[in-house]
A and B are shown apart, each in its own frame.
Chain A
């Protein structure tokens, strides 16, 4: 049976050949950095379109609308209609979306139905909080996580198992609960850090740092755990590879083998999962902002979504998408920088 098939290899068409004539996009853009940027932008455009359109459709499906939310239930139908007209909510949905899109392309994301505040301004005020939290947590995750991962990869036995256990516990503790416990320990019991609130960096850089320590740590725990685990596994794989064995065999110094040759190759794998981690941490900011009462994007989004404030929700969708696109772009660029094989000379 098997032998017959081996004799007639063309029995089933080789599907991999079918796509051979499709021109490789690599041919169109040669510079790898440029190629990464172009690819991310090509994805970003439909993504922004899809996300904002989806937001409009979903919010319009919601029972009740903004006029009811503003006027309450005691207004007359004529008053509802007048307010709807004033807000443009009487138009068909596609027209509302088209109007929004036209303005959005010029950088105007409209105004909040409730506060009348321009959406870009409302988001702009809160963006630094969320970004501080996100970037802070990413930096802490990478620095501590990679350090821990390298350490546990080099030390087998008890230390390795302890690091594994630490990673497992880090995975298992929900950020919002860790945040609450941190408040109990470090703000209530020991008055080391403020329990809640945010200090702008322009007001007081020290106060800013001080107000971020607990939230950043609560958010990072998961990031530290997953980065440490990834790093440990990548390091163990690379340390077992042939080029590391040959580096040992030819007397390269242990420090160079670990920190130059092994870590560099392991970091390629760690970087690829950092993008996913960052997106996960972005979700975590919503929870952590809630625990620490930080005036970030998360709290704005939760209120806006429950109030059917379409312009704010759509604007948030655009900003969050842009953040994710930016994260992925940075990750891709880091990968190109680390891995010479994807660079074109």
Chain B
């Protein structure tokens, strides 16, 4: 995808630890509720044991009033020994929280410095730390904690600290892998070169960057620590009777479960709600940390493939194989939809090769994806029609599109390696397409796949078919991808920058292959490219796109001889293939305006050397000075004279 549409980057690295991050966090109602609940817990943990000092040593309450259900005098009832459940729950809060904090402190003190050291220093430090972490991962945590607790009976510090030591490697790995990429960044190198100490760099430059990751992990670890604390308290290994603890109260209730099932509900529900609050807070922290990187996600997929008034319901007369008319594509933005392709019309005749040319961010790839109804993210077609085989693909249902994809229109992408499933042999992936589109048997599909690979000029198709994508070179992978695309014997092949990711020598092979396939199969090809070499080698006709619009449309010969749009002219001038002896390659000043901030008049006017005041005033219409050669420029006459 070559446009800068705002799609959510799921892999965005969270960052945090700054005031803006906390403000973002507190904008979330969930986060506020969780924080408030946890604040109440902390308050209770401080106050309750002071306010009710007798509870911790209370062996028995009113034995005649034991096992009562909730009442006004005992809001949560009484336990088997007649003690008030609510006051035990409140007093038991402190032990639980202290246990969680103890474990967290141990984890953070161990994991953060070790993870930073391993990630930043690398080498042997990294190896030793990673090895120790591996070793710890293989430890049976339960055994160790129980053995430790048998040595230090009912010592919570010992138990939770041991858990902390065992849990630390998990966080350490996260810190390490968060540090690794930061270490390679330029400003860290700069700081090193200017003689700042490593400690200073670690604490002042790297630590703040990984703070967000650490906070997220810490809140999730707190939930796990709570589970461990209550679990061990349930086994009566952590807190000595008669002091109350939430886990211990569940254990007391479990021993009289058949008679008094109510008793386990208050402590159990408290544990569950606290766990829920901690994990919800963890999620909210993570979301808040990622938020600044991403636009809000729109969950509802706009199904409206609106039929604009201009487009008819029947294919235009004298239609080509593919006719795109007034196509517009939008992506949901922060406030309103952002249009990335606007009013694009062109056609591809049977057996013809058409190129779409333009810089990155002009909407070429989006146009190509729109044809097969596979816009990235939540993009949608919001105007125009795509006529193909008597059907308007812009308004076709997903089921109808599925009949077209691979069967009559096939697609080859710019990243050959990434376009094949890494988990399956490439032969299988071609066979799969063959069986689906041609209805072949397994054996017939295998034979046909080998034939297809031979058509792609593989010397030993059998050996190639048995390989996995990672065992292929980029050029080989692209030829395999083309073979798969041809499995359905399509009438139109869409090639989205098919050679961009490849070496120059391999590029020529792939272009030669496409040309040859087009000739032998009488297949139409739509090539998206920014490379004039590809256009010159391959195309019959060209469509030049700029900022979501078509600015020029013509046959190949005329576009090289007499470009009628200043953008085309500038793009041709900056092409290395055409100016081999030029010492400095002319560049187009400025950049493509991003979608959503297109100027009112001619979108290229700000970068155009022929621009006059009139250019920026009114939307420029496309006109055809000659038969078959159209341009969107009010001063093309000027251009042809120079």
A8 touches B193 (CB 8 A): yes
Contact stretch, chosen from B101-109, B320-328, B417-425: B417-425
Beta-carbon nearest neighbor of B268 in chain A: A177
B147 touches A180 (CB 8 A): no
Q: Which residues of A contact B433 (CB under 8 A)?
A: 250-252
A157 touches B300 (CB 8 A): yes
B374 touches A248 (CB 8 A): yes
A250 touches B276 (CB 8 A): no
Say whether, besides A243-B421, A251-B407, A341-B470, A156 and B299 are in contact (CB < 8 Å): yes
> Considering the chains assembled together, what is the distance between the CA atoms of A264 and B276 in angstroms?
31
Q: Flag whether B10 is at the interface (Cβ < 8 A).
A: yes
Question: Nearest-CB distance from A114 to chain B (Å)?
Answer: 14
- Per-residue CB proximity of A86-126 to B under 8 Å, as 1/0? 00000000000000000000000000000000000000000
Say whether, besides A11-B189, A11-B192, A340-B422, A256 and B254 are in contact (CB < 8 Å): no
Q: Flag whether A61 is at the interface (Cβ < 8 A).
A: yes
Q: Flag whether A316 is at the interface (Cβ < 8 A).
A: yes
Say whether, besides A18-B123, A59-B147, A249-B411, A177 and B272 are in contact (CB < 8 Å): yes
Q: Which residues of A contact B153 (CB under 8 A)?
A: 306
A241 touches B150 (CB 8 A): no
Q: Flag whether A195 is at the interface (Cβ < 8 A).
A: yes
- Per-residue CB proximity of A231-274 to B under 8 Å, as 1/0? 00000110011110111111111101000110011001000000
Tally chain B residues at the interface, Cβ within 8 Å. Answer: 95
> Considering the chains assembled together, what is the distance between the CA atoms of A246 and B432 in angstroms?
13
B150 touches A62 (CB 8 A): yes
B437 touches A324 (CB 8 A): no
Q: Flag whether A205 is at the interface (Cβ < 8 A).
A: no
A188 touches B138 (CB 8 A): no
Beta-carbon nearest neighbor of A240 in chain B: B10
Q: Flag whether A27 is at the interface (Cβ < 8 A).
A: no
Q: Flag whether A197 is at the interface (Cβ < 8 A).
A: no
> Considering the chains assembled together, what is the distance between the CA atoms of A62 and B141 in angstroms?
19
A253 touches B436 (CB 8 A): yes
Q: Which residues of A contact B410 (CB under 8 A)?
A: 249-251
> Considering the chains assembled together, what is the distance between the CA atoms of A176 and B229 in angstroms?
12
Q: Flag whether B582 is at the interface (Cβ < 8 A).
A: no
> Considering the chains assembled together, what is the distance between the CA atoms of A298 and B143 in angstroms?
9
Q: Which residues of A contact B253 (CB under 8 A)?
A: 180
A308 touches B150 (CB 8 A): yes
Q: Which of A251, A252, A282, A339 has the most CB of B within 10 A?
A: A251
Partner of A1, one of B146, B194, B420, B468: B194
Say whether, besides A43-B135, A43-B138, A324-B138, A340 and B257 are in contact (CB < 8 Å): no
Partner of B406, one of A2, A251, A324: A251
> Considering the chains assembled together, what is the distance between the CA atoms of A213 and B299 in angstroms?
38
Q: Flag whether B60 is at the interface (Cβ < 8 A).
A: no
Q: Which residues of A contact B147 (CB under 8 A)?
A: 54-55, 58-59, 305, 313, 317
B423 touches A174 (CB 8 A): no
Say whether, besides A177-B264, A184-B257, A279 and B140 are in contact (CB < 8 Å): yes
Contact stretch, chosen from B17-25, B309-317, B480-488, B511-519: B480-488
B299 touches A250 (CB 8 A): no
Partner of A171, one of B123, B279, B299: B279
Question: Nearest-CB distance from B596 to chain A (Å)?
Answer: 23
Partner of A62, one of B142, B151, B279, B376: B151
Partner of B140, one of A15, A291, A317: A317
Partner of A236, one of B10, B149, B151, B470: B10
Question: Nearest-CB distance from A112 to chain B (Å)?
Answer: 15
Residues of chain B from 560 to 584 with CB closer than 8 A to chain A in the complex: none
> Considering the chains assembled together, what is the distance between the CA atoms of A4 and B189 in angstroms?
11
Residues of chain A from 162 to 214 with CB closer than 8 A to chain B in the complex: 168-169, 171-177, 180-181, 183-184, 188, 195
> Considering the chains assembled together, what is the distance between the CA atoms of A58 and B487 in angstroms?
67
A177 touches B271 (CB 8 A): yes
Beta-carbon nearest neighbor of B194 in chain A: A1
A246 touches B411 (CB 8 A): yes
> Considering the chains assembled together, what is the distance between the CA atoms of A16 and B301 in angstroms?
46
> Considering the chains assembled together, what is the distance between the CA atoms of A310 and B186 in angstroms?
56
> Considering the chains assembled together, what is the distance between the CA atoms of A306 and B152 in angstroms?
10
Q: Which residues of B contact A188 (CB under 8 A)?
A: 257-258, 261
Q: Which of B372, B403, B432 has the most CB of A within 10 A?
A: B432
> Considering the chains assembled together, what is the distance between the CA atoms of A316 and B140 in angstroms?
10
Q: Which residues of B contact A321 (CB under 8 A)?
A: 138-140, 143
> Considering the chains assembled together, what is the distance between the CA atoms of A27 and B564 in angstroms?
61
Say whether, besides A246-B481, A286-B142, A172 and B150 are in contact (CB < 8 Å): no
Q: Which of A51, A242, A249 has the most CB of B within 10 A?
A: A249
* A-B residue pairs in contact (CB < 8 Å), sample of 29: A12-B193, A18-B122, A19-B124, A47-B135, A51-B144, A61-B151, A62-B151, A169-B276, A171-B275, A174-B250, A174-B275, A177-B268, A180-B254, A184-B257, A188-B257, A242-B418, A243-B421, A245-B376, A247-B421, A254-B402, A264-B424, A265-B423, A279-B141, A320-B142, A321-B143, A340-B424, A340-B425, A340-B468, A341-B422
* 17 more A-B residue pairs beyond the given contacts A180-B250, A328-B138, with a C-beta to C-beta distance below 8 A: A1-B194, A19-B127, A47-B138, A157-B300, A168-B276, A168-B279, A169-B272, A174-B231, A174-B234, A174-B268, A181-B268, A243-B419, A246-B481, A250-B488, A275-B137, A302-B235, A321-B140
User: A residues within 8 Å of B by Cβ?
Assistant: 1-2, 4-6, 8, 11-12, 15-16, 18-19, 43-44, 46-47, 50-51, 54-55, 58-59, 61-62, 156-157, 168-169, 171-177, 180-181, 183-184, 188, 195, 236-237, 240-243, 245-254, 256, 260-261, 264-265, 268, 275-276, 279, 282-284, 286-287, 290-291, 298, 301-302, 305-306, 308, 313, 316-317, 320-321, 323-325, 328, 338-341, 345
